[in-house]
Amino acid sequence: MTRMRIALAAAAAASALVLAGCAGGGGDGTEEPTDEAAPTFEEGTTMAELAEAGSITVGTKFDQPLFGLVGPSGVPEGFDVEIAKIIASELGISEDNIEWVETVSANREPFIENGDVDIVVATYTINDTRKEVVSFAGPYYMAGQSILVLADNDDIQSEDDLVGQPVCSVTGSTPAEKLAEIGAEPLLTDTYTNCLEPLRSGQVVAVSTDNVILAGLAAQNEGEFKVVGEPFTDEPYGIGLALEDDEFRNWINDVLEASYEDGRYEEAWNSTAGEILPFVEPPTPDRY
Ligand code: GLU
């Protein structure tokens, strides 16, 4: 596989000299650089630190089909997971050297702030409140809040029908805030799968979060639930990282754009969420 190079030209040139010096061959400078040579980064950057360590800790969801779900293999699978793998590979880090940490909606900022994870790729909406404590690369996908109901419920068609009704969502999520704003009665738990039992039992009339999460839950529980109405918010998904690590943020944005160009983004989509959801052209990263 050809590894795309996203490193400072100066650093790359310096490293080429070092590599040639270490080659131990004739030292005649005729060695062809190989595609598999480790990428090099400017000293002191997060990229250099991670590449040097040879591992990265990634926060993702463990119970969200299509985006981040731990199955029988014991490692998470999904579109967010594939996005993290693309980033890791650009650091010269193989899949086996990614440490996956479960993040739920409410602990994503603290996990980044405390250094428990290097990045979070977890259906994570970029917004100004969160940008006060973490930074975001991306967006790499545009989702929108929607509604999940029992398959035989025809009473709820849009967010207007949620007013005054008990609706399940997750603490620390943007949909939970929106539900309160529109006058629903949010019942909050820690993960979206934990909303399914209250929906089955009638404790709530709906579950509300991003359309793509709900589509995954509906597909996982065939015939039981359906997604209704049109998305009624914008949920631009970003990659969370330490606040003001601008070099790392810009570099991840470069990696995203390169993956759009060379087909890896589309491949990541098609092999995961794309099994259920249509491919849409990715958004341009917001280089704030
Ligand atoms: N994208 C929304 C958020 O980041 C909802 C999904 C989630 O909680 O992961 O809050």
Q: What pLDDT was estimated at residue 244? A: 96
Rounded CA-CA distance 53/33 in Å is 22
pLDDT tens sequence across 49-103: 999 999 999 999 999 999 999 989 899 999 999 999 999 999 999 999 999 999 9
Q: Which atom of ligand 1 is nearest to the CA of 170?
A: 8
Q: How far apart are CA 167 and CA 148, in angstroms?
A: 10
CA–centroid distance, 196 to ligand 1, in Å, is 17
What is the rounded average pLDDT of the residues 41-45? Answer: 97
Determine the distance separating the centroid of ligand 1 and the alpha carbon of 200, expressed in angstroms: 22
Question: Which atom of ligand 1 lies nearest, measured to the CA of 61?
Answer: 9
Average pLDDT of 214-232? 98
Structure confidence at residue 37 (pLDDT): 65
2-17+45-142+235-275 and 145-228 share one fold = yes
Rounded to two decimals, what is the model's pTM?
Answer: 0.88
Residue of 174, 179, 214, 217 to test ligand 1 pocket, by largest number of atoms within 8 Å of CB: 174
For the domain covering 145-228, report its CATH number.
3.40.190.10
Distance (Å, whole) CA 283 – CA 260? 10
194 vs 176: CA distance, rounded Å: 14
Domain covering 2-17+45-142+235-275: architecture: 3-Layer(aba) Sandwich (3.40)
How far is it, in rounded angstroms, from Cα 217 to Cα 275? Answer: 14
Q: Which atom of ligand 1 is nearest to the CA of 175?
A: 5
Q: Is there an atom of ligand 1 within 6 Å of 139 CB?
A: no
pLDDT band for position 39 (cuts 50, 70, 90): confident
103 lines ligand 1 (CB under 6 A): no
pLDDT digits (tens, 9 = 90+) for 139-189: 999 999 999 999 999 999 999 999 999 999 999 999 999 999 999 999 999
Domain parsing of the chain, residue ranges: 2-17+45-142+235-275, 145-228
Q: Whose CA is nearest to atom 5 of ligand 1?
A: 173
